[in-house]
């Protein structure tokens, strides 16, 4: 039986909370500035709540849902964040109860008609929605980048779920249930990481988890390739960048019971 997304993210919940990079504050500021009302925002596919707690600084209440019980167990507590375990297409939220919807690095797992119908059901008129993601990491050294690109595109290719392709496409082609705005092209995540920190992050990837479940030690093999090339045998922190991408806009205010 194939691993489901919930299986994969349950398995890496603890390391996900420790080793995934957080989003820049400017992203949340720009999102909030687009929202006519800031009473309640839904963070759908919230994972361990990284985006939830950032949104809580800008909205009166955050309702955060995820289909993975283990991710919810690892969620970061905040007085204005209410977590619950629920699939994206059946959130349990009251109709017409949220002013905005934020989806961080997750919409590729559940985008489609069921999710769009749920969006229309739970949102108020003129609600704003953002699907946020980040692309594969960029390393500062060309040889390191070339080895990593082979790992990402070749070694892991058999282990990526088909949905992952939507990230590489910047979510283009997914049915967006609203009127879109141009997405900013000047936002990115930046971290200074040693090789060990970088590899710990890669260990949170669903493709890595799937490969290791089948006995493939893909991260250990990559470490052997990168360590001689990384300054100080991997000890020196290097600047790693993840370009942000996404789609955002106003959710259609017409038929809130059906498709796009």
Q: What is the pLDDT of residue 260?
A: 30
Place 258 in a pLDDT band, splitting at 50, 70 and 90: very low
d(CA 117, CA 237): 45
The pLDDT tens digits for 216-230 are 999 999 999 999 999
Q: Rounded to the nearest 5°, which phi and psi values hold at 15?
A: -70, -30
CATH of range 5-137+161-190+243-251; options 3.40.630.10, 3.90.1010.10, 3.40.50.700, 3.40.50.150: 3.40.50.150
The pLDDT tens digits for 14-46 are 665 688 899 999 999 999 999 999 999 999 999
Mean pLDDT of 144-159: 97
- Contact status, residue 166 vs residue 5, Cβ threshold 8 Å: no
Domain residue limits, the chain: 5-137+161-190+243-251
Specify burial of residue 245 (Cβ count, 10 A radius: 0-12, 13-18, 19+).
Answer: buried
Mean pLDDT of 125-131: 97
Q: What is the pLDDT of residue 19?
A: 83
Q: What is the pLDDT of residue 256?
A: 45
Q: What is the pLDDT of residue 252?
A: 86
Place 257 in a pLDDT band, splitting at 50, 70 and 90: very low
Place 151 in a pLDDT band, splitting at 50, 70 and 90: very high
- Read off the pTM: 0.89
d(CA 66, CA 55): 16
Specify burial of residue 123 (Cβ count, 10 A radius: 0-12, 13-18, 19+).
Answer: buried
d(CA 254, CA 211): 44
d(CA 58, CA 39): 9
The mean pLDDT of the chain is 92
Q: What is the pLDDT of residue 254?
A: 54
Share of the chain above pLDDT 90, in %: 87
Write the DSSP symbol of residue 81: E
């Amino acid at each position: 039986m194939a691993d489901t997304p919930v299986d994969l993210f349950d398995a890496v919940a603890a390391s996900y909370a420790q080793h995934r990079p957080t989003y820049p504050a400017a992203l949340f500021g720009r999102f909030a500035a687009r929202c006519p009302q800031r009473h309640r925002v839904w963070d759908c596919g919230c994972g361990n709540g990284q985006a939830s707690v950032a949104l809580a600084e800008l909205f009166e209440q955050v309702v955060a849902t995820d289909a993975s019980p283990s991710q919810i167990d690892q969620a970061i507590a905040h007085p204005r964040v209410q977590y619950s375990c629920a699939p994206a297409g059946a959130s349990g939220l009251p109709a017409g109860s949220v002013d905005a919807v934020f989806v961080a690095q997750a919409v590729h797992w559940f985008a489609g008609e069921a999710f769009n119908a749920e969006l229309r059901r739970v949102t108020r008129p003129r609600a704003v929605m953002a699907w946020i993601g980040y692309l594969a990491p960029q390393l500062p050294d060309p040889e390191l980048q070339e080895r990593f690109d082979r790992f990402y595109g070749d070694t892991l290719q058999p282990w990526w779920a088909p949905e992952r392709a939507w990230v590489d496409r910047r979510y283009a082609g997914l049915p967006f249930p609203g009127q879109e705005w141009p997405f900013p092209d000047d936002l990115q995540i930046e971290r200074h990481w040693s090789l060990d920190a970088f590899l710990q992050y890669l260990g949170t990837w669903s493709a890595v988890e799937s490969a290791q479940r089948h006995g493939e030690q893909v991260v250990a093999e990559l470490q052997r390739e990168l360590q001689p090339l990384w300054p100080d045998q991997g000890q020196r922190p290097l600047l790693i960048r993840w370009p942000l991408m996404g789609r955002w806009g106003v959710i259609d205010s017409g038929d809130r019971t059906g498709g796009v």
